[in-house]
């Protein structure tokens, strides 16, 4: 099974700052990596698919990059509504999720 | 508008069974793979099962293999999750989802399953 190691577990940043979240796969996942945002009591919402493609309706301050085993989500110009937990998900083989990153906006 | 509505959750004793349903609308149900994903209280997400478009292929992680069964009825636009021999560690919110990680990705609102005596 492919393991996804996500970091950091939590993050605190100010409005307008830029943050990055990383996911490391235990083997090459060939860009089969998506990023989700989840707010309390809500279901996850897709932000990025195929490592770097922005889902329709998602603000352009969100971007994804990476290849092979290393992937990252970058959020520019943080807004208060970005406070949430973020997960990566690989589906190169059976789906596995990262452990999540809780983002707090100061 | 795409909708996925999960039902069938509740409180169940360890060792008993429960069947979840997810009714889909707003898209051509028979054209999409469907998934069940769960999230234990305050924890991360775990993939539980997948089913292909005609129901002929199903997939499970080791944690539920042999206990859970996913199925679908394309005429009724519904996907099911039969959960047997339930354990306390199966306590979670269960989400139904379509076409994970693609531009057509969509999740239901989730249904809570509590396994406790």
Nearest C-alpha neighbor of B111 from the set B2, B12, B16:
B12
Facing B46 at nearest CB: one of A32, A55, A97: A97
Nearest-angstrom CA–CA distance, B74 and A100: 34
Nearest CA in chain A to B95: A43
- Please say if the pLDDT value at position A93 is more than 90: no
What is the pLDDT averaged over residues B46-56? Answer: 97
What is the pLDDT averaged over residues A62-89? Answer: 98
User: Which segments within B1-117 are labelled E, that is strand?
Assistant: 3-7, 10-12, 18-25, 34-39, 45-51, 58-59, 68-73, 78-83, 92-98, 106-107, 111-115
What is the pLDDT averaged over residues A3-31? Answer: 97
In percent, the amount of chain A with pLDDT more than 70 equals 100
A20 preceded by a cis bond (ω within 30 of 0): no
In percent, the amount of chain B with pLDDT more than 70 equals 100
Residues of A in contact with B103 (CB under 8 A): 49, 53, 55-56
Q: Which two tokens stand for residue A41?
A: 């009591």
- Residues B100, A89: C-beta atoms closer than 8 Å: yes
Nearest-angstrom CA–CA distance, A98 and A89: 6
Nearest CA in chain A to B109: A43
- Residues A56, B103: C-beta atoms closer than 8 Å: yes
Q: What is the pLDDT of residue A19?
A: 98
Rounded to the nearest integer, the mean pLDDT of chain B is: 97
Smallest Cα distance from B83 to chain A, Å:
20
Model pLDDT for residues A26-35, shown as the tens digit of each residue? 999 999 999 9
**DSSP-assigned beta bridge partners for residue A54:** A48
Q: Are A71 and A64 in contact (CB under 8 A)?
A: yes
């Amino acid at each position: 099974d492919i393991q996804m190691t996500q970091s950091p577990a939590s993050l605190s940043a100010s409005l307008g700052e830029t943050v990055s979240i990383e996911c490391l796969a235990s083997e090459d996942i060939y860009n089969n990596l998506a990023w989700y945002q989840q707010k309390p009591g809500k279901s996850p919402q897709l932000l990025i698919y195929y490592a770097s493609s922005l889902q329709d309706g998602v603000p352009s301050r969100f971007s994804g990059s990476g290849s092979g085993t290393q992937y990252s989500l970058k959020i520019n110009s943080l807004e208060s509504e970005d406070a949430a937990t973020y997960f990566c998900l690989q589906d190169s083989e059976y789906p596995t999720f990262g452990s999540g990153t809780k983002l707090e906006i100061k | 508008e795409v909708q996925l509505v999960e039902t069938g959750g509740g409180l169940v004793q360890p060792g008993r069974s429960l069947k979840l349903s997810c009714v889909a609308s707003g898209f051509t149900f028979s054209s999409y793979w469907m998934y069940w994903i769960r999230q234990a209280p305050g924890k991360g997400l775990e993939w539980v099962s997948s089913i292909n478009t005609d129901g002929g292929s199903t997939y499970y992680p080791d944690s539920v293999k042999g206990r859970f069964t996913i199925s679908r009825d394309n005429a009724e636009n519904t996907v099911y999750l039969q959960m047997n021999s339930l354990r306390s560690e199966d306590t979670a919110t269960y989400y139904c989802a379509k076409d994970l990680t693609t531009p057509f990705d969509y999740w239901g609102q989730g249904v809570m399953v509590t396994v406790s005596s």
